[in-house]
Chain A
Amino acid sequence: MANTQAMCSSFKGELLTGIHALGPGTGVPARVAATSDTVKAALYVATATLDASTTVYSATGEATNGSGAGYTAGGITVTQATAPSTSGTTGIYTPTATFQWTSFTSAAAFDTVFLYNSSQSNKAISVHTFGSQSITAGTFQLTMPAHAASTALIRIA
């Protein structure tokens, strides 16, 4: 039996829950949270420019209402029904089954949902794209992938 160099699987999952705050102390957001942060999901139009370099939520390029009030700037609060965990050697996070906007008329076609942490200065989490959609007096439903090592919404392998 030999030792094998690796990042510990439990560490990957614990990154998602903020267990570790590494560093010398200065500027490290070490904290003990009694409750989880609030995660929000916002829709962005197909002409927006979100990508891996996005660091914080911005209303620029966010979906808006063509009429009515089905969409609220900033998006919806994500119900975090499923805790981050480790599956095999992968840390995984899929907060809930579905995001939904009802009685919505989009002003323009949208193709992206942006997840961000509204409890931590709206810091970016992830950008997810899909085929361009528009909604007219209807419902937009976004169903998350299965919470598993090969499919979860966020995976740290």
Chain B
Amino acid sequence: MIIETTVGLIDDSELEKREGVIDNENEYSTWVEYWQHGVLVHRSASVGLKKGLDALGAVGSVG
């Protein structure tokens, strides 16, 4: 697979791949890095939000 990097397009067989996951109550996220000779040349991330924001509506009593 060809990877977009800071030094152009490179086949992933020539790169070291590192991956990670963040999983908590707010998000499930993944990231992938490609390194060449100890230098980071590509990093992508996908963040999946698990929930949004609440606004509470309320009405007052009359009388």
Contacts and interface: CB of A to CB of B under 8 A. Distances in A.
A12 B61 CA distance: 19
A138 B44 contact: yes
B42 to A, nearest CB: 5
A136 B29 contact: no
Interface in B7-63: 22, 24, 26-27, 29, 31-33, 40-59, 61
The CB with the most chain A CB atoms within 10 A, among B42, B45, B54, B56, is that of: B45
B50 A151 contact: yes
A94 B52 contact: yes
Given A12-B57, A130-B26, A133-B31, A150 B51 contact: yes
Interface string A77-98: 0000000000000000010000
